């Protein structure tokens, strides 16, 4: 079985590769990643020694390269994590999000179609559904109503995946997950940013009133869900993934400060994110009932272990902040 994982040097993709390489020694996994600012091969140091794993540096918008790779490797499965993933960056530079998230997806779909893969799985997000009020949950049939250039680009990609299934019979699944947390998350995202700032006695910038709600899931539980959908998901279906862990941002920030024994005076309320979604909450009944998915982590255990990890692996974040992690890449590729 040959599996192409795109964006595998990023946060979730690197966890997924580690999970698959260990669980399925008879699978061969190719990690295709452009190594943008968010791609970090340090995330995969322990995986490099596995003989069923190979890294290829490349961009999903490069059709020639993608064609060549499929011709060479004859993949059975494709899991597309590669994306520009940060909402704030999409507000400053939307073009790149359209290029990678929409055009890149379309190229992968085209080539997957040409080479007749057994399944193409698109890793999407709950943000395509837009925002919720104080009650209710996103289900797979909630309307798509994205509010940021990031989520609009992910929604555009989802619609293309759907269209390739309907028009060309490409076997597909789409997963839509809520906010992930865990080790190796790039320190522009809420949890690692706040942990690292607090460790360094820097201020913690909380947008708006801090009462926006996110539904948090440990990254390993997300990976387990993707594995299930890839192998057992019904062709053409969308599956929501979420852990029922709703917290306001200020609750998350205070939890971090408490564990690190740092004062709440580090919190600084700053200007709100434009178009800031108020609340996300995922209904993952379909995934749980159809495929038997059960998340392993409670939020209490997951957040504690995650904060411990950033404390015990300070060199990982220091290499990012100093830019050294990219110098390694320049030497190798
Ligand atoms: P990330 O930013 O940490 O990693 C993205 C990876 O994609 C990086 O390694 C980067 O180098 C690579 N990449 C970017 N552009 C590329 C291109 N043109 N060609 C090849 N590789 C490219 O992102 P993440 O948080 O790990 O998210 C992975 C996927 O999961 C994304 O599709 C995202 O939309 C989705 N998702 C993320 C979350 C979350 O909470 N982080 C939740 C739900 C869904
Ligand atoms: O819901 C899934 C999505 O979760 C993924 O699709 C995205 O790729 C991922 O980045 C994440 O998006 P969010 O915008 O929810 O995550 P972020 O970590 O950027 O922000 C989480 C919340 O914290 C959000 O309400 C904004 C707020 N925030 C964020 C940062 C970076 C702050 O208050 N201060 C900050 O400095």
Q: Which of 36, 182, 186 to mutate to test the pocket of ligand 1 (most atoms within 8 A of CB)?
A: 36
Q: Is 127 a catalytic residue?
A: yes
CATH architecture of the domain covering 2-185+217-246+277-299: 3-Layer(aba) Sandwich (3.40)
CB 9 near ligand 1, within 6 Å: yes
Catalytic residue list contains 280:
no
Please check the confidence at residue 207 and state whether its pLDDT lies above 70: yes
Q: How many Å apart are CA 70 and CA 322, to the nearest integer?
A: 36
Mean pLDDT of 70-77: 98
Handedness of CA 53, 296, 311, 178 (dihedral sign): positive
Residue 239 clears pLDDT 70, i.e. is over it: yes
141: pLDDT strictly greater than 70: yes
- Residue 332, pLDDT above cutoff 70: no
Ligand index nearest the alpha carbon of residue 282: 2
CB-count exposure of residue 268 (10 Å: 0-12, 13-18, 19+) = exposed
| DSSP symbols for 59-127 | -TT-HHHHHHHHHHH--SEEEE--S---HHHHHH-HHHHIIIIIIIHHHHHHHHHHTT-SEEEEEEEGG
128 Cα–ligand 2 center, Å: 14
Q: Summarize the chain as % helix, strand, coil (round to 5).
A: 45, 20, 35
> Is the predicted pLDDT of residue 182 greater than 90, yes or no?
yes
What are the backbone angles phi and psi of residue 293, rounded to the nearest 5°? -70, 130
Residue 62 has pLDDT above 90, yes or no: yes
**CB of 125 closer than 6 angstroms to any ligand 2 atom:** yes
Asked whether the beta carbons of 244 and 214 are under 8 A apart, the reply is no
DSSP category for residue 272: P
Question: Residue 315: which of 21, 8, 40, 24 has the closest Cα?
Answer: 40
Q: Where are the domains of the chain?
A: 2-185+217-246+277-299
DSSP 238-251: EEEE----EEEHHH
Query: Which atom of ligand 2 is least distant from the CA of 188?
Result: 31
Burial label, 259 (beta-carbon count in 10 A; 0-12, 13-18, 19+): middle
3-state secondary structure of 50: coil
Given ligand 1 and candidates 12, 150, 216, which is best to mutate, with the most ligand atoms within 8 Å of its CB? Answer: 12
Span 111-120, pLDDT tens digits:
999 999 999 9
How far is residue 13 CA from its own chain's centroid?
7
Residue-by-residue DSSP string for 137-173: -B-TTSPP---SHHHHHHHHHHHHHHHHHHHH---EE
104 lines ligand 1 (CB under 6 A): yes
H and E: helices and strands count for the chain: 13, 12
From 126, 139, 78, select the one nearest 288 (Cα to Cα).
Answer: 139
Which ligand 2 atom lies nearest to the CA of residue 124? 6
59 part of the active site: no
Give me the pLDDT at residue 333, please: 58
Atom of ligand 1 nearest to the CA of 80: 32
ipTM, 2 dp: 0.99
**Tokens at 9, concatenated:** 């040097």
Contact assessment for residue 229 and residue 22, using Cβ atoms and an 8 Å cutoff: no
Q: Tens digit of pLDDT for each residue in 147-161? A: 999 999 999 999 999
Q: Whose CA is nearest to atom 17 of ligand 1?
A: 59
Ligand 2 centroid – CA 159 distance (Å): 23
Q: Which of 84, 127, 215, 221 is catalytic?
A: 127
**∠ at Cα 130 (185, 91), nearest 5°?**
60
Give residue 204 CA to ligand 2 midpoint distance, Å: 14
Q: Do 126 and 177 form a contact (C-beta atoms < 8 A)?
A: yes
Q: How close is the Cα of 121 to the center of ligand 2, in Å?
A: 23
**How confident is the model over 29-58, as pLDDT tens digits?**
999 999 999 999 999 999 999 999 999 999
Distance from first CA to last CA of the chain, Å, rounded?
A: 27
Burial class (CB in 10 A: 0-12, 13-18, 19+), 112: buried
H or E element at residue 5: strand 2-6
Q: Which ligand is nearest to the CA of 175?
A: 1
């Amino acid at each position: 079985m040959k599996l192409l994982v795109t964006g595998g040097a990023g946060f979730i993709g690197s966890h997924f590769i580690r999970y698959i390489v260990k669980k399925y020694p008879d699978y061969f996994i190719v990690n295709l990643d452009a190594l943008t600012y968010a791609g970090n091969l340090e995330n995969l140091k322990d995986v490099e020694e596995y003989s069923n794993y190979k890294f290829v540096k490349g961009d999903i918008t490069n059709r020639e390269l993608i064609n060549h790779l499929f011709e060479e490797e004859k993949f059975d499965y494709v899991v597309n994590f590669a994306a520009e993933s940060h909402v704030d960056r999409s507000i400053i530079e939307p073009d790149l999000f359209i290029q990678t998230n929409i055009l890149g997806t379309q190229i992968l779909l085209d080539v997957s179609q040409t080479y007749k893969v057994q399944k193409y799985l698109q890793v999407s997000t709950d943000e395509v559904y837009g925002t919720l009020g104080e009650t209710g949950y996103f289900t797979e049939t909630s309307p798509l109503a994205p509010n940021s250039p990031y989520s609009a680009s992910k929604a555009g990609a989802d619609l293309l995946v759907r269209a390739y299934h309907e028009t060309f019979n490409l076997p597909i699944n789409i997963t839509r997950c809520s906010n992930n947390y865990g080790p190796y998350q790039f320190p522009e995202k809420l949890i690692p940013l706040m942990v690292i700032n607090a460790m360094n006695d820097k201020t913690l910038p909380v947008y708006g009133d801090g009462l926006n709600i996110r539904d948090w899931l440990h990254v390993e539980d997300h990976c387990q869900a993707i594995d299930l959908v890839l192998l057992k998901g019904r062709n053409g279906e969308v599956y929501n993934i979420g852990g029922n862990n709703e917290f306001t941002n200020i609750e998350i920030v205070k939890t971090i400060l408490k564990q690190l024994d740092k004062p709440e005076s580090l919190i600084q309320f700053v200007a709100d994110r434009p178009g800031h979604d108020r609340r996300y909450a995922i209904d993952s009944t379909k995934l749980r009932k159809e495929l038997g998915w059960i998340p392993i982590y409670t939020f209490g255990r997951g957040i504690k272990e995650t904060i411990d990890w950033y404390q015990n692996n300070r060199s990982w974040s220091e290499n990012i902040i100093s830019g050294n992690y990219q110098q390694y890449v320049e030497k190798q590729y």
